[in-house]
Amino acid sequence: MGQLDSGNAAWILTSASLVFLMTPGVALFYGGMVRAKAVLNMLIMEAAALSVTMIIWGLWGWSIAYAGQDVGGIFGDPATGFLLRDTMVADNGVFTSASINDDNYPVSCDVAFQAAFAMITVALICGAIAERVKYSTWMIFVALWVTFDYAPMAHMVWNGGLLSAEGAISQALGAQAHDFAGGTVVHINAAVAALIIVLIIGKRKGFGTEPMRPHNVPFVMLGAFLLWFGWFGFNAGSAFAANGTAGYAWVSTSLAAAAAMLAWGFTEKIRTGHYTAMGAASGIVAGLVAITPAADVVSPIWAIVLGAVAGVVTCLACGLKYKLGYDDSLDVVGVHGVGGLVGTVALGFVMEGTGLFYSGSWRQLGVQVIIALLAIVFSAVITAIIAFALEKTIGWRVTPAQEVAGIDMADQGERAYDFAGTASSVLKEMK
């Protein structure tokens, strides 16, 4: 057992808490984007992303991703760390970490940090299926998806599996795959899953024929700011130490987010004549997504360029759903899928030392493209099996009448805003 570094331990626990905050941030971000009749459903779906994921993580998710013996480079066995038995130990009746890891902080801190990553990944999917999905089906989906998709993907990329820097793909191509904080595991994975579910469950009533405007843009802006704040734990925390890499990840993350916000705004201004608050919020998130896999290995100028490219490309990509006819309610595919793909693949060009622009070799680009494509295929196949099975058994959607009237009343039996009650009170006071 190594010597405990309390500074690293404190930083990882702080980072875990920051990443945890990102899910409430997404709840506000998405909650403001939906119509007033669906905001509570969105908030409670995010609450399920936290709660169901945490239970699965404590039971077997941690073991599949990080604790269990490797099975084919795809997943760890779920038994080794079942109920965290490899991680926690009772010392004189008080539970503590069973060991110190190679970064000299307790493994229990790793459990917390990686649980928060699993939570936010699931939380991102909600935005694509907003306003039409039953809460009960969503909870079952989360349990199955974390077990069969997220945990294996985390193992493949971050625990020496098939898509990792030490994995078979990297060895075959002679370049180390790089995903610092989740371009594949989090963003591409969640966006592909979201798209697959959308294609299975279909469009909202009125999609493409009636306006579906955000009901609370200040909520959206607040959510974006909370996400930016939480992303410091997401990216800087992925240095796994309180060190210079963590400090630089903070800087590169903010450079990319700032550049993407401005680039999205300029793109909107050219296209529509306005700089919108919705665009600013979405641009911030797009930049954060794009820098996630690259925050430790791109120079400041490339962080800015990467953010700017992501801002323009994701802004344009969000309009594709109307041309292609899929109802990604809150642009999860356009922002997280395209942004994650831009960041993951761009590493092949601009990664310090081994990128094409530095080394003249195509190896890094090749490995980045391959891990992105394999992440897409894995997420699509696993999600399709789960989503299709749920569709054919308990069903995903509320009834058409319930959807039109508002999913909040149909599924939660309550409203976010009691306009009728308020109006009645005012009239009584006036009499």
**N residues, the chain:** 431
Range of the domain at 365: 12-414
Residue 190 counted as domain residue: yes
Residue 255 counted as domain residue: yes
Residue 358, burial from CB neighbour count under 10 angstroms (0-12, 13-18, 19+): middle
Residue 79 belongs to domain with CATH number: 1.10.3430.10
What does the block give as tokens for 381? Answer: 């196949």
Q: How far from 340 is each of 189, 199, 222, 278, 294, CA to CA, in Å? A: 9, 20, 22, 20, 10
- Amino acid at site 405: A
Give me the residue label for tokens 């894995």: 378
Model confidence, pTM: 0.95
CA distance 110 to 90: 18
Contact between 23 and 119 under an 8 Å Cβ cutoff? The reply is yes
Domains contained in the chain, number: 1
Residue 146 CB contacts under 8 Å (≥ 6 apart), including other chains: 52, 53, 56, 57, 61, 118, 122
What is the per-residue pLDDT for 426? 42
What is the per-residue pLDDT for 421? 54
Residue 318 counted as domain residue: yes
pLDDT tens-place values along the chain, 431 residues long: 568 999 999 999 999 999 999 999 999 999 999 999 999 999 999 999 999 999 999 999 999 999 999 999 999 999 999 999 999 999 889 999 999 988 899 999 999 999 999 999 999 999 999 999 999 999 999 999 999 999 999 999 999 999 999 999 999 999 999 999 999 999 999 999 999 999 999 999 999 889 899 999 999 999 999 999 999 999 999 999 999 999 999 999 999 999 999 999 999 999 999 999 999 999 999 999 999 999 999 999 999 999 999 999 999 999 999 999 999 999 999 999 999 999 999 999 999 999 999 999 999 999 999 999 999 999 999 999 999 999 999 999 999 999 999 999 999 999 999 865 554 554 455 55
User: Cα dihedral angle (217, 223, 225, 228), rounded to 10 degrees?
Assistant: -140
What does the block give as tokens for 321? Answer: 């759903």
What is the per-residue pLDDT for 14? 98
Residue 38 counted as domain residue: yes
Question: What is the 3-class SS of 227-295, one letter each residue?
Answer: HHHHHHHHHHHHHCCCCHHHHHHHHHHHHHHHHHHHHHHHHHHHHHCCCCHHHHHHHHHHHHHHHCCCC
Contact between 73 and 168 under an 8 Å Cβ cutoff? The reply is yes
What does the block give as tokens for 264? Answer: 């999205």
Residue 4 counted as domain residue: no
